[in-house]
Structure formats: structure tokens, C-alpha cells
Structure 1
Amino acid sequence: MVTAVAAGITTCLIFFIVTKWTNPGFLPTVLSYSMAMGGIGQLIAGILELIRGATFAGTTFASYGCFWLGRFLWLLLEVNRSVPAVADVALTGDTLWCCLWGFLTFCYFIIALRKNMGLVVIFATLWIAFFLLAGGNYNPRCRVAAGYMGFINGLACIYVYNKKTKRKLLAHF
């Protein structure tokens, strides 16, 4: 369940920038964390869950681990401007990428309806955030709305950790 906290913190960090709560200079910190905890950590957790026989948890953790590794690479290329072609197709590519991840997350949401309410909230807020991010490439207000939805998603991940472990990670939970 530590993976839920890793996912929550990684999501909150990236959406601090999207909501403009922090300076874009914070991006290297977010990139580092998204690669380590969001990417590698969730990928390993997904593999371990699959070995344990937990297909849904394993698939989702591994998928989002790969998502964070891909996002890390995408943002790294964007920040370094090391590949000129990336700048030309970035807007359309990012929009399509967010839409595809939104669709996949919506599929996970449908499956989560048979699991528990915590997972339903996590996947509902995440698929909405992905589609808002896609729209945010063309509308700044949509991007800020995506940031808030993503932040709520990150908090939901941390809350699920609290509920599963019966620990108080945050006050008032």
C-alpha cells in the first residue's frame, strides 16, 4: 500500500506546477520524484502484486509506473529541448497521450466500481484530470481545473492508504 502514497505524492507534486501553486523551477524535483517513486516504485510494486496474484492492483500499478516513466522522459526532452521535433508535435501528441490515458483510466474506473469506493474516487478523479489535461493544451482554465482535480486525486490516494493500513498519515483522517 505504500504505492498509494507514492502515487498520491507524485500526483500532487506534478499538479502543484499545473495549478501554478509553485514556480516551474520546481520541475526538476518533480521529474526526479516521478521517475523514482512514481515510475520505478510503482512498476516494481505492480510486478510484485502480479506475482501475488492481485491482477487488478498489479496491472494498474505497473501501468501507472510506466506512465510516470514516460512522463518523466517526455518532460525531460521538453525541458532540455534536445529533440527539435518534440516541440513541433508536443501539443497534439500530449493531447492524444492524455486522452488515451484518460480512456484507460476510465476502463479502470469501470472495474473499480466492483471493488470499493476509495478506488472509485481515485479512478474517477484521475480520468477526469486526464481529459482536463488534454483540453488544457488549448485552454488555460481547463489546465488549472485539471491541476485541482489531480490534486484531489493525489489526496484520495493518500486517504486510501490511511484507510487500508488504519494509520493516521494525515491529521483529521
Structure 2
Amino acid sequence: MADNKVYEIKESAIADPGPLGLACFALTTFCLSMVNAGLVVKESVAVVIALALVYGGATQILAGMWEFKKNNTFGATAFSSYGAFWISLGVFELFGAQKILVIPPQGVWLFLLAWTIFTFYMWIGSFGTNKALVATFTLLLLAFILLTIGAAGNASAHTMGGYAGILTAIVAWYTSFAGVLNNTFGRVVLPVGPCKK
């Protein structure tokens, strides 16, 4: 006998993946930027490789996929892309450390230039989100510009890019923390300043 019942498939609500994606981004950016700024020894990049592959990379990409589920185009594009950025960087650094592959300075410059271009249009897109994200992307764009100049042979710009990256990480951490607290307590504990649309 045929079953003529109509079954409804209800979409399950998921938690906001934004704070996770921002935390992944902030922590990995912080560690690499400490190396770039010269505040820790260059050999500390081994820690960055592990973070880039697992936390800043794979976990951030997962956050991006969950943003697709929440119909958040900006978050999905940002987290998925920067997660891929970290995995790419982790692979480059790992291959370099194992003497499998040496990327010439022009290759590093090209890599950073391309990510600067991407970050520029994501920065413009951030104007439709909130002020905390605008601040994060403004600092990130500055960091990428400085690191790109640094990759062209300007050591001072490279170091300044490291400091800009540290500031980026701090603001991203704040934005992540705000998302965790505001969602957990069901009210604004830490403001992120919605942009006027």
C-alpha cells in the first residue's frame, strides 16, 4: 500500500559561525604577525604552519561553509577565502622548511598582491556589515599593502605590516568576543556598531 503522507522537512537553525571564523582568523594572524614584526624569533613560524593548516585554514573554511547555510554571502566568501589563504601559506612554509620548494621573492610578492586586491573589495563589502568588521578589514588591508611592499624588498614595510597584522588580530578578536557574548547573553554586551544602510 502506497504511503500518501506528505512529509515536511524543516530546516534546523544553526548557531552563528561568525565568532568562530573570526577567532580562527585572529589567532593565526596574531601569531604570524608577531613573527613578521620581529617580536618573536623567525623559527616560531613552525607554530604558524600548524595553525594555518588546522585552525586558521580548515576550521575557518568550515565556518565559511556554515555561513553559506545562513545565507551570509559576505561571511561565506571571507571565511572560506581566508581559510584557503592560510592553508596555502601553511603549505608554502612547510614545503620551504622541508627544502621541497623555495618560493622566489617575486612569487611571494605576487601572492600578497593578489590577496591585497581581494581584501580591497572585501573591505568595500564590509561597509554593509558593522563598524567592528569595517575596522578589521581596514587594518587587514593596510597589513596586506605593507606586506606586499615588504615582499618587494622593503624590510621596514614588512615589519610595519607585522604590527598592522597584530592590530588586525586584536580587533578581530574583539569582534569574535562580542559575537560570543552577545549571542550567549541575548543582549548587547560588547557593541560592534551596526553600519547605516
Regarding TM over 0.5, the answer is yes
Establish whether residue 30 from structure 1 lines up as the match of residue 48 from structure 2: yes
Match for residue 39 of structure 1? 57
Deviation for aligned residue 1:2:
1.8
RMSD: 1.3
Deviation for aligned residue 1:77:
1.7
Match for residue 122 of structure 1? 136
Which amino acid is 1:165 matched to?
V
Q: Is the 8 A contact 2:60 2:83 kept in 1?
A: yes
Match for residue 95 of structure 1? 109
Which amino acid is 1:60 matched to?
A
* Alignment partners' CA distance in 2, 1:165 and 1:36: 21
Match for residue 5 of structure 1? 23
Structure 1 gap segments, 5+ residues each? 168-172
| Counterpart mapping for 1:1-173 below 5 A | 1-83=19-101, 86-87=102-103, 90-137=104-151, 138-166=153-181
What's the TM-score once normalised by structure 1's chain length?
0.90
What CA deviation, in whole Å up to 9, does each residue of 1:68-103 have, x standing for no partner? 0000011112222213xx34xx20011111111011
Which amino acid is 1:126 matched to?
L
What's the TM-score once normalised by structure 2's chain length?
0.79
Structure 2 gap segments, 5+ residues each? 1-18, 183-189, 191-197
What percentage of residue pairs aligned between the two structures are identical?
25
Deviation for aligned residue 1:37:
0.5
Deviation for aligned residue 1:54:
1.2
Deviation for aligned residue 1:66:
0.4
Q: Which runs of 4+ in 1 moved over 3 A?
A: none
* Alignment partners' CA distance in 2, 1:80 and 1:127: 31
Aligned length: 164
Deviation for aligned residue 1:163:
2.1
* Alignment partners' CA distance in 2, 1:3 and 1:57: 9
Match for residue 14 of structure 2? none
* Alignment partners' CA distance in 2, 1:69 and 1:35: 5
